[in-house]
Chains A and B, each alone.
Chain A
Amino acid sequence: MTLFTEITILVLAAFVGFEVISKVPTTLHTPLMSQTNAIHGIVMLGGLIVVGYANDPLEYIIGTIAIAFGTINIVGGFLVTDRMLGMFSRKPKPKASASPGEDKGDKG
Chain B
Amino acid sequence: MTAVLSQIPYSVLKPGGDAATALYIVAFSLFIIGVKRGTHPRTAKHGNMIAALGMAIAVLTTLLLDGIGNWGLIALGLGIGTAIGVIASIRVQMTEMPQMVALYNGVGGGAVALIAWSEIRHGISLGETISLEVLIPTLFAAVVGSVSFWGSNIAFAKLQDLIPTKPLAVPGQQVINALLVGAILAGCVDIVVNNGSPSQAVFIGVLIAAALLGNLVVLPIGGADMPVVISLLNAFTGLSAAAAGFALDNVVLIVAGTLVGSSGTILTMEMATAMNRSVANVLFAGFGGAPAAGAGGATEQRPYVSISAQDAAIKLAYADSVVIVPGYGLAVAQAQHAIKEVANELEKRGISVSYAIHPVAGRMPGHMNVLLAEADVPYEQLKEMDEINPEMPRTDVAVVIGANDVTNPAAKNDPDSPIAGMPIIEVDQAQQVIVIKRSMSPGFAGIDNDLFYEPNTSMLFDDAKKAAADIAAEIQQL
- Give the B-binding residues of A (Cβ under 8 A): 1, 3, 6, 9-10, 13-18, 20-55, 58-60, 62-90, 92, 96, 100, 102, 105-108
Bits for B371-402, please: 1 = Cβ < 8 Å to A, else 0. 00111111100101000000000000000000
Among A52, A100, A105, contact of B68 (Cβ-Cβ < 8 Å): A52
Q: Are A67 and B45 in contact (CB under 8 A)?
A: no
Q: Which of B118, B257, B260, B373 contacts A87 (CB 8 A)?
A: B373
Q: Counting chain A CB atoms within 10 Å of each CB, which of B28, B252, B370 scores highest?
A: B370
Of the candidates B31, B41, B55, B251, the one whose C-beta lies within 8 Å of that of A28 is B41
Residue-by-residue, is B226-259 near A (CB-CB < 8 Å gives 1, otherwise 0)?
0000110010011011101110111111111111
Q: In the complex, which residues of chain B have a beta carbon less than 8 angstroms from the beta carbon of A42?
A: 55, 58, 241, 252-253, 256-257
Output the nearest chain B residue to A76 by Cβ-Cβ distance. B85
Chain A residues with CB under 8 A of B384: 25-27
What are the nearest 7 A-B pairs in CB distance? A71-B81, A67-B77, A17-B262, A75-B85, A108-B55, A29-B366, A76-B85
Stretch at the interface among B105-113, B172-180, B181-189, B466-474: B105-113
Q: A28, A36, A62, A102: which contacts B90 (Cβ < 8 A)? A: A102
Q: Which secondary structure dominates where chain B touches chain A?
A: helix
Residues of chain B within 8 A of A14, CB atoms compared: 258, 261-262
The smallest beta-carbon distance between B279 and chain A, in angstroms, is 15
Task: Report the separation of the CA atoms of residues A32 and B110 in the bound assembly, to the nearest whole angstrom.
Answer: 21
B283 within 8 A of A: no
Chain B residues with CB below 8 A from A23, complex form: 39
The stretch of B263-271, B319-327, B431-439 that contacts the partner chain: B263-271
Do A69 and B238 touch across chains, with their CB atoms under 8 A apart?
Answer: no
**Interface residue B48 (Cβ < 8 Å from any Cβ of A):** yes
B94 interface hit (Cβ, 8 Å): yes
Which residues of chain B are within 8 angstroms of A64 by Cβ–Cβ distance?
73, 76-77
Is the Cβ of B367 less than 8 Å from the Cβ of A30? yes
Looking at the complex, which one of A39, A46, A62, A106 makes contact with B35 (CB distance below 8 Å)? A39
Interface pair B56/A29, CB less than 8 Å apart: no
* Nearest-neighbor residue (CB-CB) of A48 within chain B: B62
Nearest Cβ distance between residue A70 and chain B, in whole angstroms?
4
* B237 close to A40 (CB less than 8 A): yes
B55 to chain A, nearest CB (A): 3
Residue contacts A-B, CB under 8 angstroms, 29 given: A6-B249, A10-B246, A18-B266, A21-B263, A27-B384, A28-B38, A31-B44, A34-B104, A36-B35, A39-B238, A39-B259, A40-B241, A43-B257, A45-B59, A45-B252, A46-B250, A48-B59, A48-B74, A51-B69, A59-B121, A62-B121, A66-B110, A70-B111, A71-B85, A72-B85, A78-B51, A82-B52, A108-B55, A108-B59
